[in-house]
Amino acid sequence: MNYSAKSRLYMSIVVLVMLLLIVMPISILLDLQNTRYSALTDCIKDNFYLFDFCYKKSHEDITLSLLNFSTPFVPAATLIWLSWLVKVDFQIDANPPKFKVFRKVAFYGGCIVGCLGVFAPFFIVFEKPVDTLYKIAIHDIFLMPWLAISWLCAPIVFQKLLDSQSSMGELIRLRKLALVTLIAPFAAIFILFMRQILKM
């Protein structure tokens, strides 16, 4: 396959956007955890016997903003918009063996991440007894699904920008999994409120 310099540049930008979808959420979460740990440490210095108070305060006061949540998706959304605006019609042949391997890796890796994104909110809600449910920060229920959706979007962006004319069954299933992952934290929050109301 011989691609022109423009085609190779476009492919490189798409790959970079895919990497940003994977790396940026991890970087944001690590920064959040470091900030919370510093706040917890500072609080404990002054209130050594109030660990629960300090832990709850550091988790409630330090959360991700809407900008933090949306940041990993901005490069991908911008590239998709620009591709539509200038009518980029470049497609690759995704049938060679190396691309089939990529599809399988993306699919099974996406399934693992997606399942974790679906499972995590319910684990947070169900692993605590009823009398400690108040300690759950609603914000934290969204973290793993957000990470999972960002990762699932990487192969979806690839298919959208470089192989939109093919019907890749694996990526269609990943789209459905991303939708389920998006719904999961809201369902978990509903269950959380029901457990608190019914004392279950």
17 and 155 Cβ atoms separated by less than 8 Å: no
More confident residue, 14 or 58: 14
59 and 32 Cβ atoms separated by less than 8 Å: no
Q: Give the percent of the chain with pLDDT over 70.
A: 88
pLDDT at 196: 85
- Out of 45-49, 130-134, 180-184, which region has the weakest mean confidence (pLDDT)? 45-49
> Quick one: pLDDT band at residue 106, thresholds 50, 70, 90?
confident
Domain chopping of the chain, boundaries: 5-198
Cβ contacts of 67 within 8 Å, gap of 6 or more: none
64 and 71 Cβ atoms separated by less than 8 Å: no
How far apart (Å, rounded) are the C-alpha atoms in residues 61 and 193? 21
How far apart (Å, rounded) are the C-alpha atoms in residues 3 and 10? 10
Is the overall model pTM greater than 0.85, yes or no? no
